[in-house]
Amino acid sequence: MKINLSELADIKLGYSFREAIASEENGDIGVVTAKNINENAIELNSVTKIQNRQFKSDHFLSNGDIVINTRLNFKAGIYFCRNNNKTIVSSPLMVIKIKDKNSLLPEYLNIHLNSSAIQRQLNIMADTGVVPFIGLSQIKNLNIVIPSIERQRKIIQFDNLAKKEEEISNKIMILKNKIYSKVINDLIYE
SS3 letters across 121-151? HHHHHCECCCCCECCHHHHHCCEEECCCHHH
Percent of the chain having pLDDT more than 90? Answer: 36
Average pLDDT rounded to a whole number, residues 18-37: 82
Q: What is the pLDDT of residue 132?
A: 79
User: Residue 14 has what DSSP assignment?
Assistant: P
List the one residue out of 7, 34, 1 whose CA is nearest residue 139: 7
Least confident of 89-98, 127-136, 170-179: 127-136
Residues ≥6 apart with Cβ < 8 Å to 81: 44, 61, 63, 87
Average pLDDT rounded to a whole number, residues 49-66: 84
Q: What is the pLDDT of residue 83?
A: 67
pLDDT-based confidence at 39, cuts 50/70/90?
low
Domain ranges of the chain: 2-146, 148-190
122-167 confidence digits (pLDDT tens): 888 887 777 778 888 888 988 899 999 999 999 999 999 999 999 9
Radius of gyration of the chain (CA): 20
**Cα Dmax for the chain:** 69
Q: What is the pLDDT of residue 159?
A: 93
Question: Average per-residue pLDDT in the chain?
Answer: 87
Task: Please indicate whether residue 71 or residue 160 has the higher confidence score (pLDDT).
Answer: 160
- What is the CATH number that goes with domain 2-146? 3.90.220.20
Task: Please say whether the beta carbons of 126 and 83 come within 8 A.
Answer: no
Q: How many CB atoms neighbour CB 151 within 10 A?
A: 12
Q: What is the pLDDT of residue 82?
A: 66
Average pLDDT rounded to a whole number, residues 32-53: 81
